[in-house]
């Protein structure tokens, strides 16, 4: 039985403005896969993720994510694309002036949810998934860094995404908290949501196995050896 593909890039070139960042990118990621994206700073990891979530246009090659064609994607289509993805950043990007519950409710309302009881039920579901069901009334500054990142993951899960794109999600966290976040992301992948995670953390990659894609010298290759990054 073939695994459903959630990310497919074929002969893709990725540009920042007129600068070629990555060329001849060929990637296929299936439903529920956990995949690392490694490489030195400036090697193109973030540019690849930005192309996948519609911040950078796909100008050359063929690409799709969550059954949406990235080639010729119009700005008006980007919000629809992002509703099908979960995005987890290193720096949380939570709204600091409202509670955890209101942070999540804001996203649901922004993505077209209308029914209050449906929203409440979904918020409770995702907070339970990340083990924060008793923290919905807290403000972001009242949470630890690990708890804030759990809220970010809960936010990413709200719309039942087919894939989570995580950009250095453990970058600001100590090793024990990083391990907790990793266990959570791996559990999410086992339930069928693919995870593509950009990281610098050599320790994590050694401890938590996954496919490894390396950005190096303008290309992306699958690898089993870590080398230096």
For the cut 60, the answer to whether the pLDDT of residue 1 exceeds it is no
Q: What pLDDT sits at residue 133?
A: 93
Q: Is it the case that residue 228 has pLDDT exceeding 60?
A: no
Residue-wise pLDDT for 141-198, tens only, equals: 999 999 999 999 999 999 999 999 999 898 888 899 999 999 999 999 999 999 999 9
Q: Is the dihedral of CA 44, 21, 59, 78 positive or negative?
A: positive
Instruction: Supply the mean pLDDT for the chain.
Output: 91
Q: How far apart are CA 65 and CA 29, in angstroms?
A: 9
pLDDT given for residue 225 in this prediction: 66
Q: Is the pLDDT assigned to residue 52 strictly greater than 80?
A: yes
List, in order of start, the domains of the chain with CATH numbers: 1-84+164-229 (3.40.50.300), 87-160 (no CATH)
Q: For residue 203, what is the enclosing H or E element? A: helix 202-207
**Residue 186: burial class (beta carbons within 10 Å; 0-12, 13-18, 19+):** middle
> Hey, what are 143's tokens?
């949470």
Q: Determine the pLDDT at residue 201.
A: 86
- pTM score, two decimals? 0.91
pLDDT, position 200: 84
Confidence of residue 80 (pLDDT cuts 50, 70, 90): confident
């Amino acid at each position: 039985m073939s695994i459903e593909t959630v990310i497919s890039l074929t002969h893709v070139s990725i540009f920042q403005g007129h600068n070629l960042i990555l060329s001849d990118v060929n990637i296929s990621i299936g439903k529920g896969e956990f995949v690392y994206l490694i490489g030195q700073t400036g090697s193109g990891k973030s540019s690849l993720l930005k192309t996948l979530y519609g911040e950078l246009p796909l100008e050359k090659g063929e690409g799709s994510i969550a059954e949406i064609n990235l080639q010729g994607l119009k700005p008006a289509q980007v919000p629809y694309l992002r509703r099908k993805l979960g995005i987890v950043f290193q720096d949380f990007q939570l709204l600091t002036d409202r509670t955890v519950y209101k942070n999540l409710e804001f996203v649901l309302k922004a993505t077209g949810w209308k029914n209050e009881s449906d929203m409440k039920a979904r918020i409770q579901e995702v907070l339970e998934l990340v083990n924060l069901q008793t923290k919905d009334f807290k403000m972001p500054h009242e949470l630890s860094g690990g708890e804030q990142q759990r809220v970010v993951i809960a936010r990413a899960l709200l719309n039942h995404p087919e894939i989570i794109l995580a950009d250095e999600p453990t970058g600001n966290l100590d090793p024990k908290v990083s391990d907790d976040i990793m266990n959570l992301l791996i559990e999410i992948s086992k339930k069928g949501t693919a995870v593509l995670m950009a990281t610098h953390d050599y320790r994590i990659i050694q401890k938590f196995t996954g496919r490894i894609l390396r950005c190096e010298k303008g290309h992306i290759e699958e690898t089993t050896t870590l080398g230096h990054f």
